[in-house]
Structure 1
Amino acid sequence: MNFLSTIKPAFPAYATAWDKLGWWAVRALCVFVLIYLLVPILAIIPLSFSSSSFLAYPMPGWSLQWYHNLFTSAEWMRAAKNSFIVAPAATLIATVLGTAAAVGLARGNFPGKGLVMALLIAPMVVPVVVVAVACYLFFARLGLADSYTGLIVVHAALGAPFVVTTVLATLQGFNHNLVRASLSLGAGPLRTFFKVTLPVIAPGVISGALFAFATSFDEVVVTLFIAGPEQSTLPRQMFTGIRENINPTIAAAATLLILFTTALMLVLEWLRGRRR
């Protein structure tokens, strides 16, 4: 029994005031934590409009020269093109395989099911550098290092666990009688999946696909090991720029990535609202 529950019967007004004070304290703490997390991220946005050649405050003036440099640089444009090649391809593979695995795990009841689930979500918990080193050693023997194929395969493996978990969560509330009714009316398993199952679990599939896309688009460690100079992505180009030549072009690229990621999160929240 806590203190508030003890004083509520005798002093209801006093207890109510304490409840309100505690509620506002929790809200203030949440706002403080949110500001603490967002300020370092948002601080980079004004620097992308700085007229200075260095990432430093105070800024001497405002300029769009770094956005112009970003969109006219061959290296940055090649990196952006590679990111929009690798991420959609990896997302497609991860979504198809992750959805199939989630449906199979939800419907099946077989020995070793827990082990299979652990293997599927292992890329989420294993340190990325371990995955990168292992994939590099394995792909080097197969000739897939320094190739789009190897990079897409690894990014798909990193994104698939997000699809598996989100689709499995959606399938928890799925009414399997709908599948039985469809099969009893003469529809085949494939037609039943596309006409009955997929429309119901679509919000979970799309949510998982967005997570897989964000994982692939922002990934840098595996790219450093697997990709060659021609497969450099935006995160790798930013890492290279920070290591070799720091200028506000990196801030401009980071600002665009922040806006892009924010748009993905807004779409995800909209899908969650539809699922509810």
Structure 2
Amino acid sequence: MKRLIDNAAAWLSIANIIVLLAFLIFPIVVAVTMSFDAREYMGRFPPTEYSLHWYENFFSDAYYLRGLSTSLLVAVITTVVSTTAGISAAIALDRYTGPGKQVLESLFLSPLIVPAVVVGFALLLFFAMVGIFDGFTRLLGGHIIITFPYTVRTTLAGLVGIRKTLTEAAMSLGANERQAFWDVTFPLARTGIVAGAVFAFAFSMDDVAVSLFLTSPDSYTLPVAMVSMMRTNFDLTIAAAAVVLMIFTFALILVLDRTIGLDRLIGKGVFRS
């Protein structure tokens, strides 16, 4: 009887996993498939005929292309700034042992807790108060704030378990603090650092809630352009735009794998002593 219950629980767990995977993957499959629909309207799934019509619309639409170029530029700059700042903050938190450490860490991670809509509205008021009205500058500032906690959190996870004696040993052998970081600490924490950079890029490319408050007529991201078109001229060009966003993410991973190698770039895992 006990074995029967265990088998039933195992099959129930497998069925639950399958249902969850289908729930996660099926909407993506629908979006990708419908982006190749040859019909001029949104019909039933699956399409009866296929073409690249909606992709032609996307790449010939200046509104979408401007949003895509802004998204890529903002995401790249955001990734560099957030990763650099996140590494510095994580190292400072890891080495600091005085009072208030938990408070500082909570402050750094607070954008993860505050709803994105609240963050966007607060930033809009702040930028208006200090006289910053340029859309690109506001977008960049907002994206750095919402991605910074991810780089801090993942870098801290990468620093866990790295014994301070390793850095001390390197310095005792003649390395200065900067050399000890790049030769000892950075390779061991590389997994967390790269993971934070990937998270920063992905969340920057995907953000809508914060970007909606910070855009201007000349500076807007692709997700904001998609939301705007859904309200004014809803068609399957939006599906093509969604697929393009996914392709850029996959292309980034593929380029990293082909040029550097993901195993070499990320490492074999988080270091543990």
TM-score between the two structures when normalised by the length of structure 2: 0.89
Letter of the structure 2 residue corresponding to residue 51 of structure 1: A
Question: Aligned equivalents of 1:199 and 1:134: distance in 2?
Answer: 38
Alignment partner of 1:89 out of 62, 67, 77: 77
Q: 1:272 to 1:187 in 2, by over 3 A?
A: closer
Letter of the structure 2 residue corresponding to residue 101 of structure 1: A
Equivalent residue, structure 2, for 1:117: 105
Letter of the structure 1 residue corresponding to residue 89 of structure 2: A
Question: Aligned equivalents of 2:177 and 2:192: distance in 1?
Answer: 20
8 Å Cα contact 2:83/2:151 also seen in 1: yes
Equivalent residue, structure 1, for 2:224: 236
Equivalent residue, structure 2, for 1:36: 23
Q: 1:189-204 counterparts in 2 under 5 A?
A: 189-204=177-192
Can you give the 5+ residue segments of structure 1 that lack an aligned partner in the other structure? 1-13
Alignment partner of 1:107 out of 81, 88, 95: 95
Equivalent residue, structure 1, for 2:58: 70
1:205 equivalent in alignment to 2:202? no
1:245 to partner: Cα distance? 0.4
Alignment partner of 2:171 out of 183, 187, 190: 183
Letter of the structure 2 residue corresponding to residue 20 of structure 1: N
User: Structure 1, residues 42-80: CA drift from partner, whole Å, max 9, x if none?
Assistant: 211111111222223143421111111111221111111
Q: 1:39-58 counterparts in 2 under 5 A?
A: 39-58=26-45
Equivalent residue, structure 2, for 1:6: none
Equivalent residue, structure 1, for 2:123: 135
- Secondary structure of 2:227's counterpart equals helix
Alignment partner of 1:251 out of 216, 232, 239: 239
Deviating more after overlay: 95-104 vs 28-37: 28-37
Question: Aligned equivalents of 1:186 and 1:227: distance in 2?
Answer: 51
Alignment partner of 2:14 out of 24, 27, 47: 27
Question: Aligned equivalents of 1:38 and 1:74: distance in 2?
Answer: 30
Question: Aligned equivalents of 2:39 and 2:229: distance in 1?
Answer: 17
Question: Aligned equivalents of 2:41 and 2:267: distance in 1?
Answer: 43
Question: Aligned equivalents of 1:54 and 1:140: distance in 2?
Answer: 41
Q: 1:207 to 1:31 in 2, by over 3 A?
A: same
Deviating more after overlay: 52-61 vs 194-203: 52-61
Alignment partner of 1:274 out of 250, 255, 268: 268
Deviating more after overlay: 118-127 vs 217-226: 217-226
Letter of the structure 2 residue corresponding to residue 275 of structure 1: G
Structure with the greater alpha carbon radius of gyration? 1
Equivalent residue, structure 2, for 1:9: none
Q: What fraction of aligned residue pairs are identical, expressed as a percent?
A: 37
Alignment partner of 1:158 out of 146, 160, 164: 146
- Secondary structure of 2:174's counterpart equals coil
8 Å Cα contact 1:136/1:145 also seen in 2: no
8 Å Cα contact 2:194/2:266 also seen in 1: no
8 Å Cα contact 1:54/1:246 also seen in 2: no
TM-score between the two structures when normalised by the length of structure 1: 0.88
Give the number of aligned pairs.
Answer: 263
